[in-house]
Structure 1
Amino acid sequence: MSGFLKTLAGQKMPIPPIWMMRQAGRYLKEYRDIRETTPDFISFCLDAEKASNVTIQPIVRFGFDAAIIFSDILMVPWALDRNVRFKPNHGPMLDPLADAASLDEALLADVPTKLAPVANAITRTRSLLRDDTALIGFAGAPWTVMTYMLEGGSSKDFNLSRQMLWNDPAGFDKIMDIVTQATIEFLCLQAHAGADALMLFDSWASAVPSWHRDAVVNKPAATIIAALRARGISQPVIGFPKGIGEGILPYVDQVGVDALGLDHGMDIRWAHKNLPAYLPVQGNLDPISLLSGDDVMLANIDDILGVFADRPHIFNLGHGITPATPIANVTKMITHVRQAR
């Protein structure tokens, strides 16, 4: 068993396993070279060979302890016929979803077939990785995915999503249920294809009004994990409810994740003191600190390692690595983590 999986099972490793969110991406020239061969991003994600190749690139270059399959949280809305496309210098665009009646529940039956290329990429990647390198599958959490569907893309204030949450709770719940079921299908597909662990990204959890957090963030995640377990999926699940602060405590208590990803805004001393001692945590270096890679970054790494020294810990960033990050600074971070103990 890899050190990454041992950590997720609750074992403290002498040197914490390390990987980075978005580790296969634009900061790597080898990624950009392959990416340029397929202008359409969705088509790129659905090309099993290319997705597998870029997944492996950071493992070859840096020797990370885990790979994460190259895909996107918007693959679920794509499978639900929301016309997902990516506009250069703009980001994702979708056909805005006006109401629950505009989303056909019958589309759920086609999700495994439409997303089968992601499973194929996982199977191919798992066959190419060494046994001591874990492979992570992932999906976006329902709320985060829904915001893109309702807003028609990225948003600063999530106005339309919050309006539906407050003003049309029945419609909101209907969409949430369909997205939750699609997410279960997607994660089951990845688990059966060979993913060693799964991660649930709730990147916009901080936008949920606290009054609704249990129903919108915690309950759907708990439903997903319970459904996975009911179907015999035993792979550990890492939850990442970004930006919810003290809300991580009921999240952990209610959801049933095997590990918790911490964003860089989280007070790690408070988290370590208040989270269950057995719970593995992942994180939480600010990805912007990698732009300079200076002694302050190294001191922050030492602080993170020190605070989590007596609990299972996976070293990671507090969010995805930025495209402008110098390669040398990633190497510097990895070397420092592995030599610090």
Structure 2
Amino acid sequence: MVVNPALKAPQVSILMPFKNSSRYLGECLSSICSQNFDSWELLAIDDHSSDTSPAIFTEWAEQDSRIRVFPNRGSGIIPALKTAYSLSRGKLITRMDSDDRMAAGRLREMATQLEASGSGHIALGLVEYFSHRGISNGYARYERWLNNLTLLGSNFKEIYKECVIPSPCWMVYRQDLDACGAFAPDRYPEDYDLCFRFYAKGLTCLPSSRVLHYWRDYDERTSRTSEHYAQNYFLDLKLDYFLKLDRDASRPLVIWGAGYKGKHLARTLVEKGLHFRWLCDNPKKIGKSIYGMRLSHFKVLKTVEAPQSLITVANEASQAQIRNFLFNSCMGSEKDTFFFC
């Protein structure tokens, strides 16, 4: 299908950085070109590939002029997204990864939802991981957790746990993306940072009950190999946005847990000169001081008036116990408790 892009600006712009993804491009591009929705453009940005990816894109672009291929003006995903966005023309903006597959009907469903709801909304879809070797328990849990949020459109309620917006499966109005700063911030992980900015601007997640994106997992995936997606980047991002968006400085601050995440948050708060109470249930740590902060048993929380709690305990059974304790202590509202894992 050859389309003349000069005839009419497309309704949807798809932004897709790529680098050395030649093995998967056929599947990816087929899933886009077979959509039952014609008014789209694909801005494919080559992030300095060393394989045949650029040549594959060129061949596809010669057959379908809605596919537009450009070199990255910088290096990395964020500069590639900036390049793509600067060249886009659609009033609706979505993302795609070059190693994944779009579900049939994705573009039409998302665009229809946004047109019906108007600006101020984010269209989402359920996601499904796939891999030649099967999906790990960690990814399966993340998929299940994320999809349960998307079913209700309640994604932002657990924003401090993990990225609650699937990075290659969202669609928004251009004006809303601009209001959130688009891809201007140079901060990784870029998808989670954008998610927090959507949250800060008060955008509403539209619920979805359909799988609209197939997410490939493999060893060379960027989120597995790049330092920008290491655990400390996520923790620093979460804490910075919590302090900016949800911290009530008139209330005591409490950290639960003294594992890696708890220690990282505690050290960062100490470095910032911010006071907090530090709780755990490990008898080997209770009463000891780390970074000059003494750890106490969590029951002392009953003596703290109106605290805000940051939970860094990862064990699901322990989290359930903490939720129950806080609920029974009337400290379990959304502005009281923030799960950081």
Q: Is TM-score (shorter-chain normalized) higher than 0.5?
A: no
Larger RCO of the pair (alpha carbons < 8 Å, separation 6+) = 1
Structure number with greater Rg is 2
- Using the size of structure 1 for normalisation, the TM-score is 0.28
- Higher-strand-fraction structure: 2
- Using the size of structure 2 for normalisation, the TM-score is 0.28
